[in-house]
A and B are shown apart, each in its own frame.
Chain A
Amino acid sequence: MEKIVVRDGKAQGVALENGEELSGRLIVSAMDVKRTFLQCLDRNDVPDSFYRRVQNFKIRGSSGKLNIALDGLPTFPALPEGSSLMHSDMHFIDSMERMERAYDDWKAGTWSQDPYVDMVIPTLNDPTMAPPGKHFMSVFVQYCPHEIDGRRWTTEEKDAFGTTVLDQIANYSPDFRDLILHVEVRTPQDIEDEIGITEGNIFHGELTMDQLLFNRPVPGYAQYRTPIEALYMCGSSTHPGGGVMAAPGANAAREILADLKRPNTVPENFGDD
């Protein structure tokens, strides 16, 4: 999909990359609000003030991901052998100061030198995810910026980020490194490139007070409608926000159905600020 087609102030359909155009009575965007309005629509399709609001909506890449294939189950000396805790969500956090310092690195435009991880070994609960005896480790890492000092990541930097995380895990598991078969490193930039979320932010926008409830994503447009007739939003940029909960989608569907039963409930110049 390349563009949302708007004619006479009304969404008419979508244009695909291969040149095909699909028309629809309603267009509902599950993309984040920045991608929807800054990339898939024309600057003049929405009022200036709305456009500025979307520009200022904060979607910031902050987390990286490592997917690791393992030849066997690593051991963590801190856990008793056979501990059921291995089946759970594991963290290496022993002080708030370390977490805060990890954030300081992100503020300075780089990844955390002493990152904290949110790590699971799903194959312990679901052996079908790997060949017998082998394991898969999914590691969510903070903090990892979308860009390094305001420019794209280099391959060396991405490797260095991966090494930082592997070292961190190895600090708590001496046999971990020898078991590694394959590592996939994902920076927020990779996530953006692959999945299409602005800055690879899993929430489609920060969950701060100024971006919640009636302010999400834009004051005046918190009910899934947009300044363009027949165009709706249903992604995590809308209320209540991200996480695999489906609430934005369900809420959006209800609003759309209400509009369909009562034609023209989106007034002209709706919420123009």
Chain B
Amino acid sequence: MTELAGGKWDAIVVGAGHNGLVCAALLAQAGKSVLVLEAEQQVGGAAVTRELTEGFSVSPCAHLLYQLQPEVCKELKVSPTLACEDLATIALSRQGNHVRIAGNAVTGVTGADAEQFRRFRKRSLRFARLLRGVLNRAPPRLGTSDWRDVLSLARMGFDIRRLGRDEMREFLRIIGMNIHDEVTERFANPLLRGAICLDAVLGTHLGPRSPNTMFTYLYRLAGDGGRNAVPRGGMGMVSAVLAQAARSAGAEIMTATPVRQIVVENGRVTGVETEAGELFSSYTVISNADPKRTVMRLVGARHFETGFIKRVHHLRSHGNAAKLHLALDGLPHVDGLAFKDFGERLLIAGDEHYVERAFNPAKYFEFSTAPVIEVTFPSIHDESLAPPGKHVMSAVVQYAPFALKDGWTEASRQRFLDIAMTTIAEYLPGLEQQVIASELLTPADIETQFHINGGHWHHGELALDQFLFVRPVSGAAQYALPLDGLFLCGAGAHPGGGVSGAPGRNAARTILKRERVR
């Protein structure tokens, strides 16, 4: 192992998720020799496209693009092709009185609700823009005398102050609020309230009454003003474009090369060892894996201080979002839904209480018996995903706790699939008769197939105590872990999950900046 000294690669990235690819591409653009090692056959991590059954393809993990940062696209000179730039959201009603949300406009509600929503949305977007300002920067460190940290903190304060007195007050009031209180203060229509609650809790272990769900709502809006796009060719196409950018910049990507461990010698990182026993050396190793996997499994707890290990151990990262995929012979006729409406984002979330009741069992490691569901039919926009006249459905079904009380078995997965299908059939009757093939991925499956601990979208709960200066944990919020040469560039790092590229870009910039300082 001593031959490892004198690293061959300037940097090695472990995992070719979209953030790993962004990070690698930016480092390569800066003239670094970069090696990316990916366990799976294809790049992309949780942003991939794969065949569901012959002729049908889906994005099996992430399925909508709503946070990809323009900075990333600009610097990498990529622009993924979109099959649809912005989906409307339709909150489904069993009686056919659907509520339709498109941008600031909502229809199917009273005039008062529509006006209230317009104002709510406008204000939310203003606050989301404030959040967006911090997405694309490494968070400052607290309690240092480094002028960059002080400046960055001051800028944050200044940005909040610049909202003006009234808006600043409102921002400081609502940022710690829960979404339940916010929607009940404002809206009369239950479907509208339910839809907003669903957006706030999607992909989290939170219910509408849980703390800081107003913040998670704003986070969803922060990336791209709340737009929901469908990439042509599925999410895998986005990753392919990023991989192409990395390769053209000179990075080397090796797929089907799982990493066994990150090698540490004399208190610093010196490279990685693959499952096949091959060694690659570098003084800079950047992990696209989640913080727990990186620290506990790839490096090993013994290389860190106890206090740090404790914080990583306590990082909350229990996934609750299951994915349901259907290959369909056709689409049913549903009251109040035109054919093209199937192309929008369809939500099943009766009201805020429905969402809360769906969450209740998750607290006790049981799954919802009446789940909340985000349904999409991407094949309406992208005919490459299904044979002519046929369709695929991709849905997020909550809550299905990662650590199910009695463990996930074939039987419990089948039960949750039945529950999901029954629930969908209540709102989209006739869909069940069109099913050619189905697949349900529980968070446990997502952990196994996509190598994310806990199967959590964000690699770690998105909460105010796991954000900014303390994401993923205090002492590691600036992409550098407390081990020389080791960095994080995935969703577990600031700002968090969603296909944004922001953690990858911020990590690359931090690494390049550190080098210049040295």
Contacts and interface: CB of A to CB of B under 8 A. Distances in A.
Contact of B360 (A104, A215, A273): A104
Interface stretch (B17-25, B53-61, B170-178): B170-178
B190 to A, nearest CB: 14
Q: Which of B173, B174, B353, B357 has the most CB of A within 10 A?
A: B173
B169 A209 contact: no
Given A56-B185, A107-B209, A273 B166 contact: yes
A58 B172 CA distance: 17
A97 B364 CA distance: 7
Contacts of B344: none
Contacts of B172: 214-215, 219
B122 interface: no
Interface string A47-60: 00000000010100
Contacts of B363: 97, 100
B461 interface: no
Contacts of A58: 181
Given A107-B356, A208-B177, A219 B364 contact: no
Contacts of B175: 209
Nearest to A52: B185
Contacts of A104: 360
Given A56-B185, A97-B364, A107-B209, A208 B176 contact: yes
Question: Could you say which interface size class chain B belongs to?
Answer: 20 to 34
Contacts of A220: 169
Contacts of B177: 208-210
Nearest to A273: B166
Given A97-B364, A107-B209, A107-B356, A215 B173 contact: yes
A268 B353 CA distance: 43
A104 B165 CA distance: 38
Interface in B347-369: 353, 356-357, 360, 363-364
Contact of B173 (A100, A107, A108, A210): A210
A100 B365 CA distance: 13
A117 to B, nearest CB: 22
Interface string B143-182: 0000000000000000000000110011011111100010
Interface in A76-124: 97, 100-101, 104, 107-108
Interface of B: 165-166, 169-170, 172-177, 181, 185, 209, 211, 353, 356-357, 360, 363-364
6 contacts: A100-B363, A101-B364, A209-B211, A214-B172, A219-B170, A219-B172
